[in-house]
Amino acid sequence: MLLLLPAAAFFTSHARARDTLSTDQPVLIQPVLVAAVMCEAIEKFKPVNQAVVFSISLGRVFCFTEFDPVPQETTVYHRWYRQDRLISTAKLVLNPPKWSSFSTMQLREADKGPWRVEIVDSREKLMKTLRFSISD
């Protein structure tokens, strides 16, 4: 029904964030989610064609998340639900000082309908819910 691709993650240099972490801000245990979008593709570490409706003909759909700062190495999860049924969970490892990662879902004909992806931190705290639909 689905093919969960290995979550991809990539580090982006972000000196200002790292400085802020070391001087003004208290040490954060959990990363801060600064961007979470559904998109048609990932190119050059950036989401392409953010949308809330995707055609089944695309073959796959991506969930892109960006965390800044990431105080320490930690884990987040992308939980993919079709309607209210959990289809898959992607475990993503985040590394300091900032990190972007994505998970993807291979689509089939039976996958049409409303979906959501829940982004959950290592403490099972819901950080963000992205809602989208798979259409013809």
Are 102 and 119 contacting, i.e. CB atoms less than 8 angstroms apart? no
Give the per-residue contact string, 5-24, with other proteins (x = CB under 8 A; - = no).
--------------------
Judged by CB under 8 A, the residue of 8, 51, 87, 127 near other proteins is 51
We find the least distance from the C-beta atom of residue 3 to other proteins, in angstroms, to be: 18
Are 62 and 78 contacting, i.e. CB atoms less than 8 angstroms apart? no
- The verdict on 48 binding other proteins (CB under 8 A) reads yes
- How many angstroms separate the CA atoms of 92 and 80, rounded? 13
Contacts with 92 (C-beta within 8 Å, 6 or more apart), sequence order: 7, 9, 65, 75, 76, 77, 78, 101, 103
Give the per-residue contact string, 80-99, with other proteins (x = CB under 8 A; - = no).
-x-xx---------------
First-to-last alpha carbon distance for the chain, in angstroms, is 16
Judged by CB under 8 A, the residue of 29, 34, 52, 93 near other proteins is 52
Sites of contact with other proteins (CB under 8 A): 40-41, 48-53, 55, 58, 81, 83-84, 112-114, 116, 129, 131, 133, 135-136
